[in-house]
């Protein structure tokens, strides 16, 4: 996959539908910083902060399933797209970037999640 190929995406409305159902077949990844996660988060997401890449990049292949559908979240969708690209390069098969990130989820789906 080259850098200019498109990464699959999912809308926050689709994410909300996924989260209402049994999400045990999903891998949910949040790449934001710990300070951001403290302000606003969605239950069920594992934190893999991009700034700590050197700490988890060698072990993520043991922590996650290459075949499971993997949804990636950040603040607006830029960092999560970087993570999606890396996961696909690493061999993950079903990776989707959450369009608009937690900011969109907060404004469209659940306004009890703080904006920042």
Q: State the catalytic residues.
A: 74
Residue 16, in any domain of the structure: yes
Query: Tell me, what CATH number does 100's domain have?
Result: 3.40.250.10
Tell which residue, 93, 115, 95, 91, has the closest CA to residue 105.
Answer: 115
Q: What angle do CA 107, 13, 69 make, to 5 degrees?
A: 125
For residue 103, what are the domain limits? 9-109
Residue 115, in any domain of the structure: no
Residue 116, in any domain of the structure: no
Tell which residue, 72, 73, 76, has the closest CA to residue 115.
Answer: 76
Tens digit of each residue's pLDDT (9 = 90 or more) over 18-65: 999 877 789 999 999 999 999 999 999 999 999 999 999 999 989 999
Helix (H) or strand (E) holding 98: strand 95-98
Specify the pTM: 0.93
Contact between residue 7 and residue 94 where contact means Cβ atoms under 8 Å apart = no
């Amino acid at each position: 996959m080259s850098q200019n190929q498109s990464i699959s995406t999912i809308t926050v409305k689709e994410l909300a539908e996924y989260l209402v159902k049994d999400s045990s077949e999903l891998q949910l990844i949040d790449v934001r910083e710990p300070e951001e996660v403290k302000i606003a988060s969605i239950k069920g997401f594992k934190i893999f902060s991009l700034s700590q890449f050197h700490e988890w990049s060698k072990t993520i292949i043991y922590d996650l399933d290459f075949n499971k559908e993997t949804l990636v979240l950040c603040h607006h969708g830029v960092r999560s797209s970087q993570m999606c690209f890396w996961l696909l390069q690493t061999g993950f098969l079903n990776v989707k970037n959450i369009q608009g990130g937690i900011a969109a989820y907060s404004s469209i789906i659940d306004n009890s999640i703080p904006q920042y």
